[in-house]
Structure 1
Amino acid sequence: MADTAKPASAAPSRRKAGRHRGEGQWAAGHFTPLNGNEQFKKDDDGLNVRTRIETIYSRTGFASIDPNDLRGRMRWWGLYTQRRPGIDGGRTAVLEPEELEDEYFMMRVRVDGGRLTTEQLRVIGEISQEFARGTADITDRQNIQYHWIRIEDVPEIWRRLEAVGLSTTEACGDTPRAFLGSPVAGIASDEIIDGTAALEETKRRVVGNPAYSNLPRKFKTAISGSPLLDVAHEINDVSFVGVRHPEHGPGFDVWVGGGLSTNPKFGVRLGAWVPEEDVPDVHEGIVSIFRDYGYRRLRNRARLKFLVADWGPEKFRRVLEDEYLGRKLVDGPAPEFPAQRWRDHIGVHLQKDGRFYVGFAPRVGRVDGATLTKIADLAEAHGSGRVRTTPEQKMIILDVTEDRVESLVDGLEALDLTTEPSVFRRGTMACTGIEFCKLAIVETKGRASSLIDELERRLPDFDEPLTINVNGCPNSCARIQTADIGLKGQLVTDADGRQVEGYQVHLGGSLGLDPAFGRKVRGLKVTAAELPDYIERVLTRYREERQDGERFAQWAARADEGALK
């Protein structure tokens, strides 16, 4: 492809500054750092911190870590300091970083495409038990997150992960983060195209490559050829979505500029069809546009979605073709949106080779190392040794023969990993929350888990597909704006006038057929204690008022405010 692997310092000076002259765009010749993050990245590439971790910090301890490494570059290797226990949510925004953080780390292990072997899963479980106090959460980016990691143990953890082909490289930071991929790529009987090869080659080119290790902000990628649209393609920086071209056959439709957080935007189509073999070139071109033209002045405007919103898809495609690919892309069709509501692959499903895959539901992604090793044992005894994580915090065991399905299902049930979960267990996700996250205001994982139990008890016959996403702060790691019921953690005032943990409620968000961000009803905030009562009340009202076949999101969009309170 055309000149995308040039070092950052070689961004072409011939490009003229656009109207966003003050945005710190390298392509406009603006290389002077405009904030502290840009300064520490210019001072030293985040990839270089690994050497210091291995040779200095792991030997001299937490207190010896340079602040720009501790709260900056170490993210390039999947490491964030975690929240010090006992600090309530009211102090999240007022304390200095050194007051909030503990001398332990969250470590994020990349699981690109959710692809794991049982050997890898067993090593993940063993590391969890030995170094992370048993923690090993599954994220909605298909990763695994540890907590309680000591800096002294990091080199040994890396050694064990890398011995089985795993890594933490650029799992965080202003980098190409872990790639979402269909967890049933290559095996699903209804698959349009297998995106595995394209994902692996793209990862090989960009991850750990200094040409792409200093981006304006994080960069999220999704590649899936599933007709279920199972990677939330609408809310990634770039997504490649499986489609069939009427002349050229199976390939990918390209979307750019999606993202949530405090200024959510859906991605837009470039209108281009890309064959499997060209995905890595096109991805490199798009990430290079972000590197060169992305906004670096303000962190809250540094995501690709802001550039795409200002340029529009036509200009973005023109720059991609003319300045980075050196060729025109083929026009192509949009994906067809499936009528099926669930995109998580839960349950027992036939593979195209006659075997089965079995999807099951941990509670809000919370598992532990001992359970992961038991899942690995079950997968080896019943399948071929292949396991997957999903973008809904779920897991799948592949390649199970028909005569072994029942035994596997029973073995999973014994671990409280059901293949036939209730609507509430199946559809509820939660971010890390105040237990470990320095940005969080409220608790999430435990509260979401207890909410599942309470709703199962109160509404045992509720069977309409429904998503409830629980987030500890406004940043939407749990995708609150696109859930049927999105819960954004904040402090609220209870009936006695006290400040307590609670949630702002977003209603009727959705992806897929009718993508929409959830509706915020004026004054609708719920205390944590009131949460089960509120959700029971609004779901009961929905069932009373829904029209034939009407989804919750459709009802919530038209309901009067009184029905939603």
Structure 2
Amino acid sequence: MPPATKRKRGEGQWALGYREPLNKNEENKKNDDGLNVRRRIIDIYSKAGFDSIDPADLRGRMRWYGLYTQRRPGIDGGKTGALPDEELDDRYFMMRVRIDGGQLDGPQLRAIADIATTYARGTADITDRQNIQYHWIRIEDVPAIWERLESVGLSTMEACGDTPRVVIGCPLAGIAEDEVIDATPQIAEVHERYVGSPEFSNLPRKFKTAMSGCTAHCTVHEINDVAFVGTVNAAGEAGYQVFAGGGLSTNPMFAKSLGVFVRPEQAHEVWKGVISIFRDYGYRRLRHRARIKFLMADWGPERFREVLEKEYLGYELPDGPEPAAPLPRRDHVGIHRQKDGNYYVGFAPRVGRVNGELLGVIADLAERYGSGRTRTTAEQKMVILDVPEEDTESLADALAEHDLQVRPSTFRRQTMACTGIEYCKLAIVETKQRAMDLVDELEKRLPDFEQPLTVNVNGCPNACARIQVADIGLKGQLVVDENGDQVEGFQIHLGGAVGASFGKKVRGLKTTSAGLTDYVERVVRRYDEQRRDGESFAAWTDRADEADLK
């Protein structure tokens, strides 16, 4: 058969008739829906213990309820990817609590704090998707944890796995003076209708959603699988522009605008259409290509919109305007006025690392100075809402007593880190403590530096901490030091910006973990010396001599 007439091998797309599993992951999902593992955890595994867990559940379906085995302590980064799972697995779990929209009331935050203290050795991290992540969870305790979470309206359902994961939203939804639209009702509607539904519990891979009317674009819509971004049409109506196909990892792509205008009451239908396209047309044959960004790259936004409208919605969407440009800083740190006249107070834990006791303190302060309502952000930060103006400084002082900074340095404010080798089986290097040490040292060495600058620290190539869109992105790997020894270190990406550019790699630019602070100090000083008025770090890296970047 001539090459031109050879039939292209199927990508495992259901809509084209490819229903037979083409890899182990797809086979596991076909054998049993991941949502069914809940009953086995409650009835069998929690009672019979870790050794009773079916391997297909342990390393597969338990993710549908936010559970991964964590890394066994003492295994160095050189063995990541080389050892079989059973040797990397600890007998404890990471557990992720999904917090859609980042919204927490007082009882919910107290429940999260109590669980950390009672069941997770105090651990709790705020993720860059507004979730809370625990460690050291025993399978025997999972049913009790679920019961406690569900008593306050929270869960771990579809916090991980090939599912519609947490819907991120602006932490100021409904209260910001300048918001375009409050997406809270749309987030709630998507969650209530579709999360936990077998209709969408077998996707090609994970599916990440953002819904927001924030003028800062704090939900970084450009790197989500689908994002609804507040905009105003020519008639003055507030609605959404839709972006699809964003994602980072080892093949980063920015989401593409569909060029539509979606009214608030249509949002759940359009969301359902987009995730259905992913379910039916997404590539399932190769795991590393099983994200909607690859489908978007092949189809383009025009065809994607056409399929959405004709095959899934049954109606055409009107053309719509693009949202306004984001603000220079996309977070919500500091003291700012709400539209009701009260104030919100955003503060920065150290790279998202908190603990049960500290979360309890935050709950106390939120009740004492505000209404008890708190929010998590997509930058590993937190916000206390509804504070009277006269109490804002007292609250800031009280937070500072617990090392929670309301007016942090640029380095504290804009450094993020993934879980790293401490707990993650994919990691090659340590991240959380390394990033905290980096922040502390840079604050001492560069006390007057105030320009916006993001430093994102990742323990492996998978970009959980968004290294490609940071000013300084650090990808963990093993490097060779001056003595010829293999040690922990980082490949350096420079000048990334969400929605604008991915950080560039300068040939041979790596650093050992021990030399990281010296490198960052050096390049930041050069930027500060050479920058033009108003020039961003990303713009400077574009024109700087390569020698100045090393």
Q: TM-score range by the shorter chain?
A: over 0.9
Q: Does 1:42 align with 2:54?
A: no
SS of the residue corresponding to residue 388 of structure 1 reads strand
Tell me which residue corresponds to 1:97.
Answer: 85
CA shift for structure 1 position 357: 0.4
Letter in 1 for 2:530: E
Give the distance between the partners of 1:273 and 1:386, measured in 2 at CA.
Answer: 32
CA contact (8 A) 1:83 1:435 kept: yes
CA shift for structure 1 position 423: 0.4
Report sequence identity in percent. 67
Give the distance between the partners of 2:136 and 2:150, measured in 1 at CA.
Answer: 20
Instruction: List 4+ stretches of structure 1 deviating above 3 A.
Output: 18-21
Tell me which residue corresponds to 2:109.
Answer: 121
**Deviations 1:501-523 (CA, angstroms, capped at 9, x unpaired):** 000000000125xx110010000
Tell me which residue corresponds to 2:345.
Answer: 358
Q: Does 1:111 align with 2:99?
A: yes
Tell me which residue corresponds to 1:222.
Answer: 210
Given the alignment, which residue of 526, 533, 546 partners 2:518? 533
Given the alignment, which residue of 490, 501, 504 partners 1:516? 501
Given the alignment, which residue of 418, 423, 430 partners 1:443? 430
Give the distance between the partners of 2:335 and 2:413, measured in 1 at CA.
Answer: 14
Tell me which residue corresponds to 1:28.
Answer: 16
Give the distance between the partners of 1:284 and 1:121, measured in 2 at CA.
Answer: 30
Given the alignment, which residue of 145, 162, 166 partners 1:157? 145
Give the distance between the partners of 2:246 and 2:22, measured in 1 at CA.
Answer: 25
Structure 2: 5+ residue stretches without partners: 1-5
After TM superposition, the structure 1 = structure 2 runs for residues 15-414 of structure 1, keeping only pairs within 5 Å, are 21-247=9-235, 249-338=237-326, 340-414=327-401
Letter in 2 for 1:198: Q
Letter in 1 for 2:328: R
TM-score with structure 1 length normalisation?
0.96
**Deviations 1:362-397 (CA, angstroms, capped at 9, x unpaired):** 000000000001100000111112100000000000
Tell me which residue corresponds to 2:455.
Answer: 468
CA shift for structure 1 position 248: 5.2
Give the distance between the partners of 1:20 and 1:294, measured in 2 at CA.
Answer: 16
CA contact (8 A) 1:519 1:557 kept: no
Give the distance between the partners of 2:84 and 2:174, measured in 1 at CA.
Answer: 48
Letter in 2 for 1:392: E
CA shift for structure 1 position 560: 2.1
Letter in 2 for 1:182: C
Give the distance between the partners of 1:346 and 1:88, measured in 2 at CA.
Answer: 36
Tell me which residue corresponds to 1:556.
Answer: 541
CA shift for structure 1 position 356: 0.3
Give the distance between the partners of 2:384 and 2:354, measured in 1 at CA.
Answer: 16
Give the distance between the partners of 2:36 and 2:9, measured in 1 at CA.
Answer: 31
CA shift for structure 1 position 342: 1.1
Letter in 2 for 1:240: F
CA contact (8 A) 1:260 1:476 kept: yes
Letter in 2 for 1:164: V
SS of the residue corresponding to residue 177 of structure 1 reads strand
Tell me which residue corresponds to 1:15.
Answer: none
CA shift for structure 1 position 21: 4.7
Give the distance between the partners of 1:301 and 1:20, measured in 2 at CA.
Answer: 16
Give the distance between the partners of 1:279 and 1:19, measured in 2 at CA.
Answer: 38
Tell me which residue corresponds to 2:402.
Answer: 415
**Deviations 1:328-376 (CA, angstroms, capped at 9, x unpaired):** 00100011103x3111110000000000000000000000000001100
SS of the residue corresponding to residue 331 of structure 1 reads coil
Structure 1: 5+ residue stretches without partners: 1-17
The structure-2 alpha-carbon separation of the partners of 1:229 and 1:560, relative to structure 1 and needing over 3 Å to count, comes to same
CA contact (8 A) 1:245 1:273 kept: yes
Tell me which residue corresponds to 1:426.
Answer: 413
SS of the residue corresponding to residue 486 of structure 1 reads strand
Give the distance between the partners of 2:474 and 2:511, measured in 1 at CA.
Answer: 9
Give the distance between the partners of 1:509 and 1:20, measured in 2 at CA.
Answer: 36
Give the distance between the partners of 2:247 and 2:302, measured in 1 at CA.
Answer: 19
Letter in 1 for 2:42: E
SS of the residue corresponding to residue 164 of structure 2 reads coil
CA shift for structure 1 position 411: 1.1
Give the distance between the partners of 2:489 and 2:161, measured in 1 at CA.
Answer: 29
TM-score with structure 2 length normalisation?
0.98
Give the distance between the partners of 2:349 and 2:528, measured in 1 at CA.
Answer: 27
Tell me which residue corresponds to 1:454.
Answer: 441
**Deviations 1:420-449 (CA, angstroms, capped at 9, x unpaired):** 000000010000000000000000000000
Letter in 2 for 1:390: T
Letter in 1 for 2:490: Y
Tell me which residue corresponds to 2:3.
Answer: none
**Deviations 1:34-91 (CA, angstroms, capped at 9, x unpaired):** 0000000000000000000000000001011000000000000000000000000000
Letter in 1 for 2:340: D
- CA RMSD, Structure 1 to Structure 2 (Å): 1.0
CA shift for structure 1 position 398: 0.4
SS of the residue corresponding to residue 479 of structure 2 reads strand
Letter in 2 for 1:369: G
